[in-house]
Structure 1
């Protein structure tokens, strides 16, 4: 099979993958009675975010009254001013970006390779190995914290960004997600590439991986949500102020006797906004993955 024909096959497969997205767009333009039910539910989920935003713009005195007013008497940026001038929020934000970016890149690379291996390669113990990886999902995280802490202590990874990065280098869910998506792709595409002279690595990087963009976007979303919002493990493993993540720094605004509500609400807005923007950018690929992988209902 010629290279031009192989390119046409890959392009046609991408067009087929895009059809459900275009069809969903047309369905969204039509009115459905489900909208009458879903719109109030969406507003109900949106309400806490609106309250958080209004609280971050409220005077500090109004936040300690009971019950606190939903709509402040006047809007102020004092909470944000104190957050950026009296705390190291920019350092925390930078540390969190480093942790999340490293986690996303490593998960895309490692989970894609592992998922493709379990989906396409035949080797002894493949089913048992995949089952053992999935079994780790059923182990509560709390049971692993003490042995993980001891291991990291012996490796010298505590009190640094390495303590927050290493646990997110690869995840069992990421391997499962990528394997399910690779199983949904036609094997004929890879066979065509091999007939055209491509080896296994070329087939993976030139044919399979470009078609896996929806799954990669979904994996990036889940990895970002997990690594960005991770609090319990950094709270245990990091005591160095210079290595605080954003969630760990925000947690310091709460203490046994006092909570700085203005800083807490402003910090939560700063922590939530990047996640919302990232999901809005990648939601189309996320929907496509739910359509073509084994995760759809």
Structure 2
């Protein structure tokens, strides 16, 4: 078979393969976007309970603010999420730096135990954590949501990899100039690890902003509810047919996470690229 015949034979197969890939991507995009689109459309087209007539507009969004204290729940979610994100960035950076730059007994064993915690589901540890929180007198407080989440095994692993990719000569040069361990960490290595910190912070924000299970277990009083937990109280409206009000609340809860994703794309992309380069 000549080269031209071989190319001609493979061309239809390549075109069929490309068409299959695009078809698969289109199907995946549809199943990803369709639920969000349906939620938005339903929230913008509420129906009148008495007449059944559809009344397009933002009435369902206004109903959310009248039925639940949205600003209180948003404040609680923002406070909890931001403190967890900042705390995880700091704890992951310090722990990752220690595992990357210092030698001590049982270092590998301890690091392995930290990674092993990533394999344990939260549902397994939630009861012991709740007992500890209650013993500390922090039950039904926002601190019960914040303090247990400050350590992060994934963040520790990620920051360790970043610090291991940075040259050790930087610390040696700084020590010759008289810098101590804390000065070396905060002035030299921590600024260079900003891409890794961005990944830890963005992932922590997106995860804990949408978290439902832990707030459900740790909080009882309505004034301590986070936004995802507070939105559950709108489910009573389903009995009256006001699905649009429930979905409007869901849309409102998505806005902060969407903004963080939009404005955090660049540092997240740079962090992932820098990690790959290292």
Q: Distance in 1 between matches of 2:229 and 2:277?
A: 32
Contact 1:168 1:227 in 2 (8 A): no
Tell me which residue corresponds to 2:174: 193
- TM-score, L = length of structure 2: 0.83
Deviation of the 1:263 alpha carbon: 2.4
State which of 33, 44, 68 in structure 2 corresponds to 1:46: 33
Tell me which residue corresponds to 1:174: 155
Residue 227 to residue 188, structure 1, CA distance change in 2 (3 Å) = same
Q: 1:226-253: per-residue Cα shift (whole Å, max 9, x none)?
A: 2111111111121101000001001222
Secondary structure of the corresponding residue to residue 131 of structure 1: helix
Q: Distance in 2 between matches of 1:224 and 1:269?
A: 17
Tell me which residue corresponds to 1:262: 244
Find runs of 4+ consecutive structure 1 residues off by over 6 angstroms. none
Q: 1:31-89: per-residue Cα shift (whole Å, max 9, x none)?
A: xx899579734455233222222222111459xx9xxxxxx965211111111122101
Q: Does 1:209 align with 2:190?
A: yes
State which of 257, 272, 275 in structure 2 corresponds to 1:290: 272
Deviation of the 1:196 alpha carbon: 3.0
Contact 1:159 1:240 in 2 (8 A): yes
Matches within 5 A, 1:271-282: 271-282=253-264
Task: Give 5+ residue unaligned stretches, structure 1.
Answer: 1-32, 66-71
Q: Does 1:122 align with 2:103?
A: yes
Q: 1:173-208: per-residue Cα shift (whole Å, max 9, x none)?
A: 111111111112222222232233322211111111
Contact 1:253 1:260 in 2 (8 A): no
RMSD between aligned alpha carbons? 2.7
Count of matched residue pairs: 256
Report which of the two structures shows the higher radius of gyration computed on alpha carbons. Answer: 2
Tell me which residue corresponds to 2:43: 56
Q: Distance in 2 between matches of 1:48 and 1:229?
A: 17
Q: 1:262-283: per-residue Cα shift (whole Å, max 9, x none)?
A: 2221111111111111122122
- TM-score, L = length of structure 1: 0.78
